[in-house]
Amino acid sequence: MNKIRFALAAAALIFTTSTATLAQQASLKIGYTSVDYVLSQMPESKQIESDLKAYSSQLEAQLKSKIADYQTKAEAYQKGASAMTDVVRADKEKELTGLQGSIQEFQRSADNSLQQKQQTLLKPALDKLQKTIDAVATENGYTYVLNSDGASPVLLHGPKEGDISDMILKKMGVTPGANQASAQAAPAPAKATPAAPATTPAKKGKKK
């Protein structure tokens, strides 16, 4: 599960502030956590991964069906083009071009749909995580909680005692590290869209 990038999660849970300002306020207590790590440990992670894979497989099956239809018609065109009239040949070529465009559009749509599905599946877990972070921070006197991972982590260095990840998990009733092996072994969801046909069928010589 930790293979899946939680860009939205990181953005939602990161609190950015001026380093100079923080340095001037010695009374502040700052903690940090790894959003990816905590999410991967939550029981919900396995169901999210399973649902996302199932949805990805559905999209991939639809795309493969479209590609198979295109290839069948393209092969039929290649075999019979020399015997076709100009009108029929042009009509077949137009149909194949339309199918190719439809496949490429489906690829783009499927990728966006997969991302949206991931966001939808993650939202309940993210809401739960945010509430738990708030509770842990309040109970332990943390003024700010930073995210230590992501494409642009807020935390560049911090003492081990500032890491509240395990406290967050325990607050949710999760034993830290219990799901780590399975989380590391879980592959990222396959991209929903295999490559679409990139070329249109070559035109045959016109029948006189």
Tens digits of residue pLDDT in 127-152: 999 999 999 999 999 988 998 887 66
Beta carbons of 67 and 103 less than 8 angstroms apart: yes
| pLDDT one-digit tens code per residue, 44-65 | 999 999 999 999 999 999 999 9
Cβ(1)–Cβ(42) below 8 Å: no
Q: Is 32 helix (H, G, I), strand (E, B) or coil?
A: strand
Cα separation, 18 vs 134, whole angstroms: 21
- The answer to whether residues 150 and 19 touch, using CB atoms and an 8 Å cutoff, is no
Per-residue pLDDT at 92: 92
Q: Can you tell me the distance from the alpha carbon of 52 to that of 115, in angstroms, rounded to the nearest whole number? A: 10
- Higher-pLDDT residue of 25, 153: 153
Q: What is the dihedral of CA 108, 123, 7, 135, to 10 degrees?
A: 180
Encoding tokens for residue 28? 């502040």
What is residue 91's predicted lDDT score, i.e. its pLDDT?
93
